[in-house]
Amino acid sequence: MTGTDPRFAAYLPHPVERPAPVSAVVAEATGADVPVLAGLQARARGGSADAWAERIDRARRAGRSLVVTAKVAGEAVGYANAAFLPEHPVDRAPAGYYLTGVTVDPAWRRRGIGRLLTRWRMDWVHRQDPAVWCFVSAGNPASLDLHRELGFDHVRTGASFQGIEFDGGAGLLLRAGPPNRPAPES
């Protein structure tokens, strides 16, 4: 099965050939990273790099939020966001820390970058709160598989979450609890 939505990477759960995994360094994005990340986002999602730069920098400087970048040999190959969002007044998505987006340069996909960025953000959120939330389009099976593999459970389906509407009217609200820890001794 392949994804039909052009905004998402082709869904190839068992590709015949897969590029070798890479060793990437993940860190919080700095102001110097913003123009590069904006260019990456504009190439991947469309729109102007200037508009993306403003949006990324605003997210980077906001309280209770995070923008991280993955670099290979000093080159930014992906980035991702997390932020605390209040309960949404219309779709009633609960308040909490949400993974709010990940972008990987198409030339670097299928090498573990998205997984690395997601785990890094999950670890950051778990230092703030026991639950990690995200919402995913039902039309993005690659993202759904990744989140399930990382411990996310389906909470509910809806036409929108946190005010984001889904094409076709189907989005999934997902939640991951705290990382597995040894049970306290009694």
DSSP secondary structure, 53-91, as one string: HHHHHHHHHSTTEEEEEEEETTEEEEEEEEEEEPPPTTT
Provide the CB-side half-sphere exposure for 146 (13 A, CA).
Answer: 24
CATH number 3.40.190.10 is the correct assignment for the domain at 25-176: no
In this prediction, residue 20 has a pLDDT band, given cuts at 50, 70 and 90, of: low
CB 178 within 8 A of CB 130: yes
The reported pLDDT for the residue numbered 153 is 94
Is it the case that residue 6 has pLDDT exceeding 50? no
Distance CA 173, CA 155 (A): 5
Is it the case that residue 12 has pLDDT exceeding 70? no
Structure-model confidence comparison of residues 82 and 165, the more confident one:
82
CB 157 within 8 A of CB 138: yes
Mean pLDDT of 57-66: 94
The reported pLDDT for the residue numbered 3 is 42
In this prediction, residue 174 has a pLDDT band, given cuts at 50, 70 and 90, of: very high
- Who contacts 12 (Cβ-Cβ below 8 Å, separation ≥6)? 2, 110, 142
CB 151 within 8 A of CB 118: no
What is the overall mean pLDDT for the chain?
86
Is it the case that residue 171 has pLDDT exceeding 70? yes
Instruction: List for the chain the helix, strand, coil content (%; round to 5).
Output: 30, 30, 40
| pLDDT tens per residue, range 91-148 | 999 999 999 989 999 888 888 899 999 999 999 999 999 999 999 999 888 889 999 9
The reported pLDDT for the residue numbered 7 is 52
Tokens 């076709």, located at residue = 168
> Domain spans of the chain?
25-176
DSSP of 3-22, one letter per residue?
A: ---TTS----SS-SS-PPP-
Mean pLDDT of 170-183: 78
Tokens 């459970």, located at residue = 153
